[in-house]
Structures are given as C-alpha cells and as structure tokens.
Structure 1
Amino acid sequence: MRKHTLLLSLFGLAVSPAQAQVKGTAFGFATGTTGGGSATAAAPSSLAQLKQWITDSTPRVILINRTWDFAGSEGTTTGQCCSTRTTTCSGGSSAGQASIQTTCDDGTWVSCTYDNAAKSPLDVGSNKSIVGVGSSGVLKGKGLRIRGGNSNVIIQNIHITNLNPQYVWGGDAITLDGADRVWIDHNKISLIGRQFIVSGWGKGGHVTISNNEFDGKTSWSSGCNGKHYWTLLLLGLEDWYTFANNWIHDVSGRAPHLGTDYTNSKIFFHAVNNYFQNVGGHAFDIDTNTWSLLEGNYFSSVTTPLTADSLTSGALIYDVPTVDSAGACNAYLGYICEWNRLSGSGTWTARTDTAVLTQAASLKQYLISHIPVADVPTKVVAAAGVGKV
C-alpha cells in the first residue's frame, strides 16, 4: 500500500491511499486472491465509465465512493407477471412477490413493470478489486456477475440493493458461473428480487464469503412474512467455499442451499462463526454431492436451522453437535472444532459423517480458525457489513 499522503479529490470527497485499497488479505479458500493488486486506485466519473472499468480486461482497483443508481438507465418493461398464492398474501406482514416468467401454469397473469438494468448484471473482468469507500459505496439496481473463466476478483465494502425486490426473478446481487478465486467481504446485500448470491451450473471455484450482512427485511416476500426467501443458492460444478463471520438475518430460506444432482457438482463448504438471526424458515438446506463442515455457528430465533431433507439427500455433513464430535476433529484437522449453538430455535440434528473430516484433512491449508460460539452474536454484528472494514 502506498504511504505518501497525496489525497485524491473525487466528486468532492477526499480519499487517502489508506482508504483506497482493499483492507486485509483474502483467506480461506480465496487465499491468494489479489484482485486489482497494485493498480492505482481510482473512482469512475460516470455510469458508463463504471461499467467499462468493471467489465474490461485491465487490472483495476475501482473505488465506489457514492451511490451509483442504475434504475431507469436501461429502461423498464411493462408486461405480465405470474401471480400465485404467494403474491396476494392473505394476512401476513408484507405483500407477496409476483414472478417475471414466460409461463403461469400455477397462477394467473397480472400486470407488472420492472427495471431492466437489474436483470442484466455487470460481467466483472479478471483482476478487479471493487472497493467501497467508508460507508458510501452503493450499487443500486444492478448486480455483479463473474463468469466465463474470469477470476481473481475482490468485492469489498459495497452495498448492493434495490434489484426489483417486488418480483421473483427480478435480479441477482452476485453471480458466480465459471469463476475462480473470488473474495466477497464486508458487503451488505438487501432488497433483491431473487438471490443474494447464486452460482450457475459452471464452477464457482475457490470462494470466500466473509463478514457480510445479508439483510432480508422486505416489503415483498414470497412467504408473506416480510423476510426474503432467496438468500444463497450454490450449485457450482466444482466449488470450495469458506463462509465465515456473516450476519444472515430476517430471511426465510436458502440460507444457504448447497448442492444439486442435476450435474456432477462437487462442493466443499466450511461454515464458521456465522450468526443466523430471525430466520422465519430454514437456514441450511443441503443437497447431494456436498461435503459440509459446520462449526461455531449461532442460531437465534431460527425456525429450521437444518432441513430434514438435508439428512436424506445424500449430503455429507459434520455439524459438531457434541463435545466428543468437536474433539474428534483434532485427529483429522489438527484442531478441536467449535460446536454450534441454538437460542430459541428449532432442532439441530446430529450428523457426523467422517467422510467430511477426511475431505477436510486434504484441504487443511484453507481451513480457518474460529472464535468461541458464545461470542458470535456480538462480534459478528459489530463487524459485518459496510463501513466496518
């Protein structure tokens, strides 16, 4: 990082070199991810320049020091959306979500108008750092997508929000599809029409998702309960995830969903010290072709911490339910795992597939340490999200 004291005047906001770089170093499965590296940090001067810098092939450190509002920038579409029982919401604490789709066999058509920009994410080029300045960095009405073999991307300290939140299929915040080496850190995601983070059928690759706030509070909910359902859907062909120190709150499903039998997908997922709060539905929903090591996670007012389907899907899970199961990690991993804690939540069914520890043993260089689970609510809330790097 540069140590001189030159200040960059960007839209009237002085940004020092200390503010203008990625904070910290990628860890876990994203170890070695450098993003734009030592490229000179700069803030774009227009929406067009922002798009160019994010999507081109030049290594860049792109500063987001304001709200970039894409709403209306690509026009709107007025047409028909599918309305089902989850759209009208008889009772409940929110309106529902109609679906932007081409068929409506299970509902009726209703008129709808949605913003086009949210449905076409920006394709992030390789070797990019997209970094928010202070708490000012906002991408409004547009998501990010890493695909086509692009890699070495850091997304840090950005708030991604307002992607057609009233409509299912209204847009995804972050998409991985044919990617590798991605660090998603200290961001906030809210008011998204579909997935907060989603992988396609291609590789997600080596990914660390850390210190993020997933805020599901919404006025439009498929569960009619004011909580967003579509949280994280991870289906990649060959993926390794570190999911650490995230605050997932006021959601109702896919928090996260892992795995699929649609392809020969293989996913290893290490979830450490995440805080699940006010989940009016399910947190972990784990399908086949997965190895999940779940340790030191705290569930507060979570209806279903682990779905029943996870136990019969063919998923391999080690969820550290007892002191003995925590100690058993030592022989494989060289440390004692941290147990998971529940407060006012549903059942955490014991599952201790040793195949997960065997797989984890071959990946020890990517496994990260934990803090005591009792400290998770206070420390995670204090550190997760924007403006806290």
Structure 2
Amino acid sequence: MKLATSLIGAFVALAQVVTSEAVVGKADGFAYGVISGGNASPDYPADIEELKSMLTDATPRVIVLKKTYDFTQSEGTIVGNVCLSWGDAHSCQQIIQDDCGETPSMTAKWWKAPTQPIDVASHKTILGVGNKGVIRGKGLRFRGGASNIIVQNIQVSDLNNKYVWGGDAIGFDGADLIWIDHVTTHNPGRQHYVFGFNPSTRVTLSNNYINGNSTYSTSCDNYHYWNFEMVGTDDQITMKNNYMYRTAGRAPALSGGTLLHAVNNVWSDNGGHLLEGGDSKARGIFEGNVFTDINSMVADYAGRLFGTPAGSESKCKSALGRSCQTNSYKQSSGSLDSYTDTSFFGDFSGLHIASAGSAAQAASSVPQNAGAGIINVGA
C-alpha cells in the first residue's frame, strides 16, 4: 500500500510539472529570443514570503502561480498627507503628497506594501496556471540590469487604487530582454506600466489587458488616467495585441527617448485623451491598431510619429522590412493620419520586428484573447 501511494504521489508530481511549467508561444517584437528560466524545474511558492524570495534570488527559475498571493496588508499601513486635487467626491483619486500648496488636503491611511514593488532578478519565468495566478497588493519591477525574464498569464491588481503614488503594477528601469504576455493589470494607484529614466531595451508587451475601469479616478468618473509612462532615455518597446479599456490619458505617454512599435492593439472607450508626451526625442510607429470611442486622440505630443495613413503603407519598409497596416478609427474624435514622420526609421535597424495583421483582425480577436486566464499554461 505504501509503495502504491508513493507511486501515485510521484505520478501527480510529474503531471504537475508537465502541464504547468511551459511558456505558451514565443515573444514577438523586440524581446524575441528571450528564454528566461529555461528548463529549470518549476517552483510552486507556498506563500508571499517564498514568492518574493524566489523572484529576487540569483537562481534561474520557472515560478508557477496557482493561487492568489495577497501582499496588501503584509507590511502594515502608512499615515500621511493627501491632496484633494480633483475634489473630495467618493469616486475621486487623491494624491499622496506632503505639500499641497493651496489645494485642499487631509490626513489619510494607505497600505505600505503596494508602494514598493518587487525587484525581479534576471533569468526568471513567472507563469500563472489557468486564471489562478494573482498577485495583489504588490507590483513587479525590472531594473538595475535585470534581463531575460518572461511574465505570462498572471494578474497584478489592487495597489492602493484610491491614491496616486499608491503603487504601480509593472515597472522597468534599466532592464533588457523582458516579455510581458497575457497579463491583466487592474486597480493600480498610479501606472499600469511605468518606464523609468534608465534605458530598458528589447521589451515586448503582448496580449495584455489594461483594465482602466476603476472605482477612483482623476476625473471622478471611473476612467483611469495613469496607464503607460514611457520616459526612458533610450527604451525599445514593442506593444502588440494589447487591449486598453476605459483609460483617460497616458495611453501611452510616449516621451523620453523611447522607440515604440505599436501594432494590432485595441483601445476602447477612452474618456480623456490617448497619446501624450513632451519630449522631442520620442519616436513611434502605430500600425494595424483599432481605436474605438476615443474622446481625444492626441493631447500635447512633441515627439516624432508615423500613423500609417492610407496610401503610405509601403513607407514602412525601410524601418520594418515590410509594409505597414493601416489603423482603424471607430466612433473616434480624430486619427493619427497627420503624423507622417519617417526620419527615425533607421533606428529600428538590428531589432526584431513584430509581424502584423490587419486592424480588422485585431478588432475581432484582441479583446477576447487579451489578459490572464485565456491561454492554457497548465491545469
């Protein structure tokens, strides 16, 4: 009987390894070639302490998440000053800030854990199983030379979303070769994705769901303003097949010296503006994207941009090695057709270029297939 029990246990363990450790697909775009934890045997962290230890140590790992890891209350609370910059209505965000000037302020309390993300070390694969891999109350950050990392099929959420500076979901600052795929972010205090000043190179963000439907917002109407902050001095970012829903700004804020390739993404129901950025060194190609019900396409933007107006598709060949796909605008107040700058196309040289389908294909497939719980990483 003991032998039979032992054999059954070994079989279950083997089945767990076979069904749960494998990354689905390969990175397209700038992060092409990333292998992260490679063939390392999968690790199943028992609790938040073990998860944090595995994420930050120097060992290449495949870290499999099969439950919710809730950091929210783990480090206690902070009491401090907040500014009531958008009013004191129940649905308005407040800013964590010591000096509010003439803006009304008050004392508030928030969770400490979400304000400090986990700095993920190099050579890590982070995989969620089914729809079970959830990290609450802590963001993930890649910085200081961290490289060769894959994050797939998880949710990162609930980071003091009532407070600006309450917590970012996914962060980069001086990283290389990072693939974020089929990740859902929801209810951050500030950014869904934030890039710091130090250059982050060969980054691909694909098939992610940026859920901006938030209880608290700067406009007090449940549309999240803080979505993509791109200020790196020389960042290289591919955005492909991502779904941005109920945003109000910084979607993205394309600034710094960022080089962006935005392909086959879908933006839907934007209550403010979509694109902004105050740095003339920023550059981007937008192709094959879908923009539906966007209140305002562009706020203040100082960088260079190619928006692929109809008839100009072949101009992309010098940058991408192929023609671009035109964008689609539905119920939108504007377009990117007036942006036709090709002077930066040589900057794509040497980078792996993502493939592209039509905007019509993106419209039918991206919203249904973006985010965690969609792909079958394991059972």
Q: TM-score normalized by structure 1?
A: 0.90
Q: Structure 1 residue 321: deviation in Å? A: 1.3
Decide which of 7, 10, 30 is 2:12's aligned counterpart: 7
Q: Structure 1 residue 106: deviation in Å? A: 4.1
Matches of 1:285 and 1:6 in 2, distance apart?
54
Task: Note if contact 1:293-1:356 (Cα within 8 Å) is conserved in structure 2.
Answer: no
Unaligned runs of 5+ in 2: 1-9
Q: SS at 1:63's partner residue?
A: strand
- Tell me which stretches of 4 or more aligned residues in structure 1 moved more than 4 Å: none
Q: Structure 1 residue 148: deviation in Å? A: 1.2
Q: Structure 1 residue 245: deviation in Å? A: 0.2
Q: Which residue of 2 aligns with 1:316?
A: 304
Q: Structure 1 residue 16: deviation in Å? A: 4.6
Decide which of 360, 368, 377 is 1:374's aligned counterpart: 360
Matches of 1:208 and 1:30 in 2, distance apart?
5
Q: Structure 1 residue 83: deviation in Å? A: 1.4
Q: Structure 1 residue 224: deviation in Å? A: 1.2
Q: SS at 1:49's partner residue?
A: helix
After superposition, where does 1:166-181 map in structure 2 within 5 Å? 166-181=162-177
Q: Structure 1 residue 204: deviation in Å? A: 1.5
After superposition, where does 1:1-389 map in structure 2 within 5 Å? 6-8=11-13, 15-84=16-85, 86-89=86-89, 95-260=91-256, 266-286=257-277, 287-307=279-299, 309-310=300-301, 313=302, 315-322=303-310, 324-330=311-317, 333-349=320-336, 350-360=338-348, 362-363=349-350, 365-389=351-375
Q: Which residue of 2 aligns with 1:263?
A: none
Q: Percent identity at matched positions?
A: 37
Unaligned runs of 5+ in 1: 261-265
Q: SS at 1:377's partner residue?
A: helix
Matches of 2:319 and 2:145 in 1, distance apart?
33
Matches of 2:318 and 2:142 in 1, distance apart?
37
> CA deviation digits over 1:271-301, x for unaligned, max 9?
0000000011122223321221110110000
Q: Which residue of 1 aligns with 2:4?
A: none
Task: Note if contact 1:295-1:339 (Cα within 8 Å) is conserved in structure 2.
Answer: yes
Task: Note if contact 1:318-1:356 (Cα within 8 Å) is conserved in structure 2.
Answer: no
Matches of 1:67 and 1:276 in 2, distance apart?
28
Where relative contact order (Cα < 8 A, 6+ residues apart) is larger, the structure is: 2
Matches of 1:18 and 1:29 in 2, distance apart?
28
Q: Structure 1 residue 333: deviation in Å? A: 3.6
Matches of 1:41 and 1:225 in 2, distance apart?
43
Q: SS at 1:241's partner residue?
A: strand
Task: Note if contact 1:238-1:267 (Cα within 8 Å) is conserved in structure 2.
Answer: yes
Matches of 2:213 and 2:261 in 1, distance apart?
26
Cα distance change of structure 1 residues 381 and 81 upon mapping to structure 2, 3 Å threshold: same
Could you tell me which amino acid in structure 2 is paired with residue 277 of structure 1? S
Matches of 2:183 and 2:56 in 1, distance apart?
20
Matches of 2:280 and 2:65 in 1, distance apart?
39
Could you tell me which amino acid in structure 2 is paired with residue 87 of structure 1? G
Q: SS at 1:338's partner residue?
A: coil
Matches of 1:201 and 1:328 in 2, distance apart?
31
Matches of 2:102 and 2:117 in 1, distance apart?
28
Matches of 2:21 and 2:135 in 1, distance apart?
17
Q: SS at 1:358's partner residue?
A: helix
Cα distance change of structure 1 residues 79 and 7 upon mapping to structure 2, 3 Å threshold: same
Cα distance change of structure 1 residues 87 and 118 upon mapping to structure 2, 3 Å threshold: farther
Task: Note if contact 2:20-2:64 (Cα within 8 Å) is conserved in structure 1.
Answer: no
Matches of 2:200 and 2:130 in 1, distance apart?
28
Q: Structure 1 residue 50: deviation in Å? A: 0.7
Q: Structure 1 residue 376: deviation in Å? A: 1.4
